[in-house]
Structure 1
Amino acid sequence: MLKISNVTMKFGGVVAVNNFTANINKGEIVGLIGPNGAGKTTVFNVVTGVYKPTEGQVLFNSGDEKVISTLRPDEIAYLGVCRTFQNIRLFKELSVLDNVFIGGHLRLKSNVFSSILRLPSYNREEKEMLEKSNYLLEKVGLYGERNEKAFSLPYGKQRRLEIARALATDPKLLLLDEPAAGMNPQETGELMEFISVIKEEFDLTIFLIEHHMEVVMGICEKIYVLDHGTLIAEGNPEEIQNDSKVIEAYLGVD
């Protein structure tokens, strides 16, 4: 579904990502790990069109393979690639429901004139989007808080809301940037179960960055490891746990 081919990302003289290659198959949960500053979020930014790679390309295949590394973020999202962020980026002053509702606007077919004039076609789409938003909030356990302001939610529920907003775009590939950041052990366990459930419920392929090794080793089928922008290991959880280069990158050597 996703092929990252020999991607290099430079910022002036700094090489943030160096010749990185990865393949993600449909239905997989794949992890991207590495020490702070390893280049993980830069990879996500390249995949989602925030950055154009200095070298290499990104291909996305949801039935028709396309090079997406030349597209805008909104064009990539429309194809079915959506993400959450390391630092939660909700519309904090809007309601929980409105945050999800906004995500659904990507799929609206009506134009600005039909919305201003409140034409029947727009009203029908708006009603369908409202029903879909409420359905997603039920699925992530936030329906009871749908009318509350987003900022009033506890941290773990804000994470769920951000994922619900991403689901409103009808993604095929969901990128999660440190979804367990700031969570306590109970919330982390609930998150692992939640990710597994939404993967099956919405037929998702998931690519995630995470520092919580419990999460990565518990739900990922394949893991890529970056260190200083360079891929140093790839494999299943057991192979990664026993890889000497990975151990050195995280713990150092005597």
Structure 2
Amino acid sequence: MLKIDNITMKFGGVVAVNQFNASISKGEIVGLIGPNGAGKTTIFNMITGVYKPTLGSIIYEVNENEEDITGLRPDKIAKLGICRTFQNIRLFKELTVMDNVFIGNHLRLDSGVFSAVLRLPKYRSEEREQFEKSRYLLEKVGLYEERDEKAFSLPYGKQRRLEIARALATDPKLLLLDEPAAGMNPQETQDLMEFIVDIKKEFKLTIFLIEHHMEVVMGICERIYVLDHGILIKEGNPLEIQNDQKVIEAYLGVE
């Protein structure tokens, strides 16, 4: 579904990511781990069009057609079915829970500005459909009872769920989660793991996630890529990653 071929990202003389290669198949949950500053979020930024790779290419398969999405604008990539959440939660905090999800739906509206301003029948019909979709998503993530509350008033774990619900509103095929368990307590982390597995099945998603909580990565990922200083040092299943000496040294150092 996604093929990353030798992508490199340089900022002046600093090489943040160096010749990273990866492939993700449809229906997988794949992890990307590494120490702080290893280049993980930079890779997500290249996949989603925030950064254009200095070198290399990113190929995405949509509707059985391969598309080179290297350097495409973020909105174009989102329309192709790739959406993400962020390491630092980026909700519209002063808007309601419902409005945050409804905004995600706008990517799939066909009506233009003229139709929206005049509230023509086509726009009103689409609006009703998207409202029902938003209601369904909030029920799925357990937030429908809080639909009229301001986003900032939600507890941290529920804000994470809301951000994922907003991403789901864009109808993604590939969902990128950047540290979804950051700041969560053990019970919230366990609930999140079950939640990710559930939405993967429910919405037929492929998931690529960055995470520092090893219980999350080892518990739900089928394969894992390990970065250190922008370089891929290991790829394998959870058991192979846990027992790899290079991975251990990257996290714990060398005696």
TM-score tier by shorter-chain length is: over 0.9
- For residue 28 of structure 2, what is the aligned residue in structure 1? 28
List aligned pairs for 1:174-193, cutoff 5 A: 174-193=175-194
Residue matched to 1:49: 49
**Which residue of the partner structure matches residue 114 of structure 2?**
113
The TM-score with structure 2 as length reference comes to 0.99
CA drift at 1:70: 2.5
Residues in 2 aligned to 1:68 and 1:94: alpha-carbon distance in whole angstroms: 32
Q: Does 1:6 align with 2:6?
A: yes
Match of residue 100 from structure 2: 99
Task: State the secondary structure of the residue aligned to 1:22.
Answer: strand
Residue 253 of structure 1, CA deviation: 1.7
SS at match of 1:30: strand
Q: CA RMSD in A?
A: 0.4
User: Which amino acid in 1 is paired with 2:12?
Assistant: G
> Partner letter of residue 66 of structure 1?
E
Other-structure match for 1:232: 233
Larger displacement relative to structure 2 (58-67 or 233-242): 58-67
Runs of 4+ in 1 over 2 A off after TM superposition: none
How does 1:1-254 map onto structure 2 within 5 Å? 1-62=1-62, 63-254=64-255
SS in structure 2 at match of 1:245:
helix
3-state secondary structure, aligned to 2:166: helix
The separation in 1 between residues aligned to 2:254 and 2:116, in whole angstroms, is 62
| Mapped partners of 2:191, 2:90: distance in 1 | 21
Q: Distance in 2 between matches of 1:138 and 1:249?
A: 41
Q: Equivalents in 1 of 2:5, 2:158: separation in Å?
A: 35
Q: Give deviations 1:79-119, integer Å, cap 9, x for gaps.
A: 00000000000000000000000000000000000001110
Letter in 2 for 1:185: P
Q: SS state of the match for residue 198, structure 1?
A: helix
**Other structure's SS at 1:57 match:** strand
Deviations 1:10-60 (A, max 9, x none): 000000000000000000000000000000000000000000000001011
| Conserved 8 A contact 2:29-2:222 | yes
TM-score (norm 1): 1.00
> Quick one: distance in 1 between partners of 2:122 and 2:50?
33
Determine helix, strand or coil for the equivalent of 1:182. Answer: coil
Task: Tell me, in whole angstroms, the C-alpha distance in 2 between the residues paired with 1:64 and 1:162.
Answer: 29
Structure 2: gaps spanning 5 or more residues: none
% identical aligned pairs: 79
Is the Cα contact below 8 Å between 2:46 and 2:71 reproduced in 1? no
Residue identity matched to 2:167: A
Q: Write the letter of the residue equivalent to 1:60.
A: Y
